[in-house]
Amino acid sequence: MTILIMTPEAEASGLTAEIYDDDRRSLGYVPSHTKALSLDPEAYMAWESLVGAISSSLGLRRYELVTLAAA
- The model's pLDDT over 9-64, given as tens digits with 9 standing for 90+, comes to 888 889 999 999 999 999 999 998 889 888 899 999 998 898 888 878 888 888 88
Distance CA 8, CA 20 (A): 10
Q: Please indicate, yes or no, whether the overall pTM of this predicted structure exceeds 0.85.
A: no
List Cα–Cα distances, 41 to 1, 8, 18, 31, 60, in angstroms: 23, 14, 10, 15, 25
